[in-house]
Chain A
Amino acid sequence: MSERKITIEYNDRIVRQFMLASIFWGAVGMLVGVVVASQLNFWQLNFKTAWLTFGRLRPLHTNAVIFAFVGNMMFAGVYYSTQRLVKARLASDILSRIHFWGWQLIIVAAAITLPLGLTRGKEYAELIWPINLAVAVIWVIFAINFFWTLARRHEPSLYVAIWFYIATIITVAMLYIVNHLSIPTSFTHSYPLFGGVQDALVQWWYGHNAVAFFLTTPILGIMYYFVPKAAERPVYSYRLSVIHFWSLVFVYIWAGPHHLLNTALPGWLQMLGMTFSLMLWAPSWGGMLNGLLTLRGAWHKLRTDPVLKFFAAGVTFYGMATFEGPLLAIKSVNALAHYTDWIIAHVHAGTLGWNGFMAAGMFYWLAPRLWNKPLYSQALANLHFWIGLTGILLYVAAMWTSGITQGLMLNATTENGTVLAYPNFLDTLNSIRPMMLMRVVGGGLYLAGWLMLAYNIFRTVRGAQPVNGTVEVFVVETKAEERLGFRGTFFNPPVVFSILGTIFACTWLFGNDFLKLVGLFGTAFWVLLAWAHFEGRNRQWGVWYDRLLVSALPFTVLTLLAVVAGGMIQIIPTVVVNRAENVEDRRQIPYTPLELAGRDLYIREGCYLCHSQMIRTLVPDVLRYGDYSRLGESIYDHPFQWGSKRNGPDLARVGGKYPDVWHYRHLEDPRSISAGSNMPCFPWLITQSTDVAALPSKISVQRMLGVPYPAWTPAEIQSRVDTQAKEVTQRLRADGVYIAPDREIVALIAYLQKLGKYESIAPKGPVAP
C-alpha cells in the first residue's frame, strides 16, 4: 500500500468571517429584541412610524437572531470542526466565499424589507420570495461545499458531530423549500401554495423543525466537537450518541402539531403532535447527558475557564428547555400556556441559554486559536457569563410568571363556571406589566454581556495575526469493500426492522378496523423481533454501523428517510382530505377585493404577531371570543392567520362586533377606545391609499390556488372596491369621520368586519341548527 504524507492548511479565514459576522448580527438582533420588548411596555416607542412599529420589528428580531446570529455561528462552528474532523480543507474557497457574502447579503436584504412591511406573513418564514430563492441557493452552495469536503476527507469514519451536520443540511433544505412554496403576484409579494389548516400544518412542521434542525442539531454537533476539546475529556458514550441521534431526527419531525393543540386541527394530528413531543424528551436529554457527562473529571476547570462555564450552562439550559417542551405539549398544560408569555420564556431559555451560551463558549475558545493570541481578558469573559446568566434567569422567571398569570386570568371563570372572571382582556394585560418590564431588564443584561464579548474579542483580534490551522495526514486509500453499497445500505437488520416497523405503525395509524389490528400486532411483532435479533446479534449491528460511518452517501440517504417520514404522514392526508369541498359544517366566504386588500395590510403590519384568529375548543376561549373556529372557516386563507401569541385578544369573530367607527378610532389611537392598551397607533393607514392596482394579479393567483373567485376584469375589481369602500366611508361619515374611500384604513376595516363570516353547509346528515 502506497502512503504519502501531505500537509493540509485549513480554511480558517471563512471561520473568522462567520464568527465576526455572528457577533455583529447577534448584537443587532438582541438590540432589536430589547426594543420590541420595550415597545410592549411603552407604546410610545413605536414612534407612530410605520417601519419602527412592533409588528414590523418583531419579525426582524426573530429572523436576525435565528438566521443571522445563530446561522453565522453555526456556519463558523460547522466549517471549523468539519475540516478538522475529516482532515480536509474546505472543498472550495470560492463556494465558501459565495456562501459567506451571499448569506450576509440575504441578512441585509431582510433587514431592509421587513421594516418596509414586505412579508409573507408566516412566522420565521416572513422573507419575500426573491430572498427565499437566494436563501435556497446559498443553502445548496453550503451543502455542496460541505458534502464535497466530506468526499475529499482523509478520515474515513464520520464522527457524531458530522452526523448532526448532515441531518441539519438536508432537513433544513426540505423544510425551507416546502414551507416557502408560493406563487408570486409581484416582485415583492406572493401567496403561499397552502391555505388554512394545510398552511397551518406545513408552517408548524417548518416552524417547529426550524428550532430542531437550525437551532438544535447543528449546535449539538458543535457541542460534540467543542465540549470534549475544551474539557480535554473523552465523550461520555458513543452508543448514547447513536441512539439519541437517530431517535432525535426521527421523532422531532412529528412534533410540529403541538403548536396547534386545541385548535380546529383534526384530533388525530393533535394527538400525534402531543405524544411525539413526549417521546422527544429522552432523545433530547441524551444529548444533554453526553454533553454534561463529558465534563466529568473536568468540573474543577469550570472555576476558572469561562469557555467551560458557558458550555456547561448552555447544555443545562438545553436540558431544561427540552423538558419544558414536552410539558407544554400536553394538551391540558397547553390550554393554559399557549398564546401566553410562557411560550416566550420557553423559547428564550433555548435561544439565550442554549444557542447564545454555546456561541459565546465557542467564540471564546476559537478566538485565541484563530488569531494566535490569548484572550484579551478572562475576567471580562467571566463577568459576561455571570451577567448573561442573571439576564436569562430574570428573563425566564419574568416570562414564566407573566405567562402563567395571564393564562390563569384569561381562563378564570366565576359564578359557578358560567362567567369569565376577567372579561376585559386589558385587565390581564395590565396585571403582567411589571413582569414585562422585568423581561426588558433581563434582556438588557444579556445584551450587555454580549457587548462585553464583542469588546473582548475586538481587543483580542486587534493587531493580532490570523493563523490557519494545519495538519499532516497520511493519504490512505480507503478499502472499497468497507463502504456500503445499495444492498448494504438497505438490506441489513437495523434498517429493515425500522422500515417494516414504521410501515406497520402507519397501517395502525390510518387503517380501518381490521387493518388497525394488523398494524398494531405487526408493529409489536417487528419490535419484538428486532429486540430479539439485537440481543442475539448486536455485534453484527455494530459492525454494520461502523461500515455506515465510512459511507457518507448512504448515511445521508438514511438520515433523509428518517426525517421525511413524519412530515409525509402528517401533511399528505391533510392536503388531500381537508379541502374546501370536504370540510363539514362551515365554509369561509371568500373575501371581496377590498377585504383581500385589507387582509394584505393586516399581514403587512404584522397584526398576526399579537392577534390570533383561532378560537380554541376551550370554554374560556368560547366565552371570551365566541363560537369555536371551524376548519372550514379559514380554508381560503393564504397564508393562514391563526397566530401563535395573544398580546391582544383573538380576532376570529371580531367582524360585526363593533361599528366601523370603533375600528377607525382604535387604529388611529387605540387608547382613545381602550384605555391602557399597548397597541401601536397606525396613523399612516389614514394617509396612504390602497394598492388597488395590485389586486387583479393577486386575485388571479388566488383563483389559481383554488379560491372560488369569478373571472373579474380589472375594471370589475375596481368597481367592486369602489362600491364597498364607499359603503364603509358612508357609515363612517354618519358617525362623524370623513375619510376618502381610497385610504388603506378603509380596506383594513372592511377586512376586520368580514372576520368570522361563514356559510353553513351540510353535505350529509341532519341540517345544522
Chain B
Amino acid sequence: MTPNNPPSPAEAPLRPHSFDGIQEYDKRLPNWWLLTFYGAIVFGIVCWLRTQHFAGPDDAAQLRAELARIEAAKFASVSSLDDATLWKMSRNPVVVASGRATFSTTCVGCHLASLRGKDENPQAIGVNLTDQIWIHGGRPMEINSTINTGVPAKGMPTWGPILGPKKITELVAYVLSYHQEGEPVIAAPSTAPAVPAPVAGTPK
C-alpha cells in the first residue's frame, strides 16, 4: 500500500461521466470473484440434478430409516424378550431386513423364499409360515422357541446354538412381519401333515 500516491491515470480508464463529482473506473472483474460466481451456479445445478432428477430417499424417508436403525439398536440391548417386543421388532424395517437376510440363506431350503413352503410347492419340506395355522404355537415367543430348539423329529433343526439369539429374534420378526398382531392362531394337530415325514431333514 502506498499512501499519498494515487494510481496514475493511465492505470485504468475512468468512465467519462461524473455524478456529483463521483467518477467510476471500469476495471475487469476479478477472476477469483467470477470463479466463485460461476462455481456457485454450477454447484446449484449439480445439487438440483442430484436431488431432483436422480431422486434418492427424501428427508422424511431418510429420517425414518435412521429412526429404525436406532430402534433396532435399542432392541439389541433388551434383555428379556416377550411377545410385545417381538411384534414391535416385526414392524422395524432394519430388524426385518436382517431377518430376511438370515432367512434367505438358512431357511429358504425348506420354507421357500415365499415362506409358503408346502402350500406353494407340495415338494417342499417346510410348512407354510404365512397362514394362521401353527403346529407348535403361533405366539411370537413360541415361534422363537421352536426355532431355538427345533423339532428334530420333523426335520426342523435346532438353530439356537448355530444362529445365536440375535439372529433368531430377527428371524421371528421377519416371520411375524407376514402377520398382524391379534390375528387368530389356529392350532393344528402335530399329526396333521399327511406326508410321511422325512426323518432326517438335512439342512445344508
In the complex, per-residue mask of B57-75: 1 if CB is within 8 Å of any chain A CB, else 0: 0111011001101100110
Which of B4, B22, B52 is packed against the most chain A CB atoms within 10 Å? B22
List of B residues within 8 angstroms of A237 by Cβ? 24-29
Which residues of A (274-293) have their CB < 8 Å from a CB of B?
274-276, 278-279, 281-283, 285-286, 289
Is residue A247 contacting chain B, with contact meaning CB distance below 8 A?
yes
In the complex, per-residue mask of A409-439: 1 if CB is within 8 Å of any chain B CB, else 0: 0000000111000000000000000000000
A300 to B3, CA, bound (A): 6
- A236-B27, A274-B47, A281-B36 are known contacts. Are A617 and B22 too (CB-CB below 8 A)? no
List of A residues within 8 angstroms of B22 by Cβ? 159, 225, 228-229, 234-235
| Of B38-46, B100-108, B165-173, B182-190, the one with at least 4 CB within 8 A of chain A | B38-46
- A282-B33, A285-B33, A769-B91 are known contacts. Are A235 and B24 too (CB-CB below 8 A)? yes
Nearest neighbor of B50 in chain A, beta-carbon distance? A271
Is residue A155 contacting chain B, with contact meaning CB distance below 8 A?
yes
Tally of contacts, chain A with chain B, CB under 8 A: 121
List of B residues within 8 angstroms of A276 by Cβ? 44
Contact B40–A235 (Cβ < 8 Å): no
- A159-B22, A234-B14, A267-B58 are known contacts. Are A619 and B70 too (CB-CB below 8 A)? yes
Interface size class of B (residues with CB under 8 A): 35 or more
List of A residues within 8 angstroms of B74 by Cβ? 418
List of B residues within 8 angstroms of A516 by Cβ? 53
A148 to B23, CA, bound (A): 25
Contact B44–A279 (Cβ < 8 Å): yes
Report the minimal beta-carbon distance from A221 to chain B, rounded to whole angstroms.
Answer: 12
Q: B48 touches which one: A271, A296, A622 (CB < 8 A)?
A: A271
Contact B25–A282 (Cβ < 8 Å): no
Is residue A618 contacting chain B, with contact meaning CB distance below 8 A?
yes
Which residues of B (1-35) have their CB < 8 Å from a CB of A?
1, 3-7, 14-15, 17, 19-30, 33-34
- A267-B59, A275-B44 are known contacts. Are A300 and B33 too (CB-CB below 8 A)? no
Q: A282 touches which one: B6, B24, B37, B63 (CB < 8 A)?
A: B37
A271 to B48, CA, bound (A): 7
In the complex, per-residue mask of A621-647: 1 if CB is within 8 Å of any chain B CB, else 0: 011000010000000000000000000
Contact A617–B62 (Cβ < 8 Å): yes
A197 to B22, CA, bound (A): 47
Is residue B51 contacting chain A, with contact meaning CB distance below 8 A?
yes
In the complex, per-residue mask of A222-239: 1 if CB is within 8 Å of any chain B CB, else 0: 000100110001111111
A85 to B19, CA, bound (A): 6
List of A residues within 8 angstroms of B59 by Cβ? 262, 267, 270, 617
Is residue A240 contacting chain B, with contact meaning CB distance below 8 A?
yes
Q: A417 touches which one: B17, B26, B37, B70 (CB < 8 A)?
A: B70
- A267-B59, A622-B63 are known contacts. Are A240 and B52 too (CB-CB below 8 A)? no
- A278-B40, A285-B36, A418-B70 are known contacts. Are A240 and B20 too (CB-CB below 8 A)? no
Nearest neighbor of B60 in chain A, beta-carbon distance? A617
Contact B33–A297 (Cβ < 8 Å): no
- A618-B63, A619-B63 are known contacts. Are A239 and B47 too (CB-CB below 8 A)? no
Report the minimal beta-carbon distance from A650 to chain B, rounded to whole angstroms.
Answer: 15
Which residues of A (578-623) have their CB < 8 Å from a CB of B?
617-619, 622-623
A278 to B48, CA, bound (A): 13
Report the minimal beta-carbon distance from B68 to chain A, rounded to whole angstroms.
Answer: 11
Contact B43–A275 (Cβ < 8 Å): yes
Contact A271–B6 (Cβ < 8 Å): no
Which of A268, A417, A617 is packed against the most chain B CB atoms within 10 Å? A617
List of B residues within 8 angstroms of A241 by Cβ? 24
Interface size class of A (residues with CB under 8 A): 35 or more
* Interface residues of A, dominant DSSP: helix
Contact B33–A289 (Cβ < 8 Å): yes
A222 to B23, CA, bound (A): 15
Is residue A84 contacting chain B, with contact meaning CB distance below 8 A?
yes
Contact A279–B40 (Cβ < 8 Å): yes
Is residue A157 contacting chain B, with contact meaning CB distance below 8 A?
yes
Contact B70–A243 (Cβ < 8 Å): no
List of A residues within 8 angstroms of B37 by Cβ? 247, 279, 282-283
- A282-B37, A283-B37, A622-B63 are known contacts. Are A299 and B29 too (CB-CB below 8 A)? no
Contact A297–B40 (Cβ < 8 Å): no
Nearest neighbor of B4 in chain A, beta-carbon distance? A300
List of B residues within 8 angstroms of A278 by Cβ? 40, 43-44
List of B residues within 8 angstroms of A282 by Cβ? 33-34, 36-37, 40
Nearest neighbor of A471 in chain B, beta-carbon distance? B20
Report the minimal beta-carbon distance from B43 to chain A, rounded to whole angstroms.
Answer: 6
A285 to B34, CA, bound (A): 11
Contact A299–B63 (Cβ < 8 Å): no
List of A residues within 8 angstroms of B43 by Cβ? 275, 278
Contact A279–B41 (Cβ < 8 Å): yes
Contact B66–A619 (Cβ < 8 Å): yes
Which of B14, B41, B73 is packed against the most chain A CB atoms within 10 Å? B41
Contact B52–A271 (Cβ < 8 Å): yes
Contact A296–B63 (Cβ < 8 Å): no
Q: A238 touches which one: B7, B24, B51 (CB < 8 A)?
A: B24
Which residues of A (662-698) have their CB < 8 Å from a CB of B?
none
A281 to B20, CA, bound (A): 31
A300 to B2, CA, bound (A): 8
A557 to B49, CA, bound (A): 32
A417 to B69, CA, bound (A): 9
A159 to B20, CA, bound (A): 10
Closest 10 CB pairs of A and B: A300-B3, A275-B44, A282-B37, A617-B59, A234-B23, A237-B27, A159-B19, A84-B20, A238-B24, A235-B24
Q: 7 more A-B contacts (CB under 8 A) besides A240-B29, A279-B37?
A: A229-B20, A235-B23, A237-B27, A239-B26, A281-B36, A289-B30, A617-B63
12 contacts between A and B (CB under 8 A): A81-B20, A84-B20, A234-B22, A237-B29, A267-B51, A282-B37, A285-B33, A297-B5, A416-B73, A509-B48, A617-B60, A619-B66
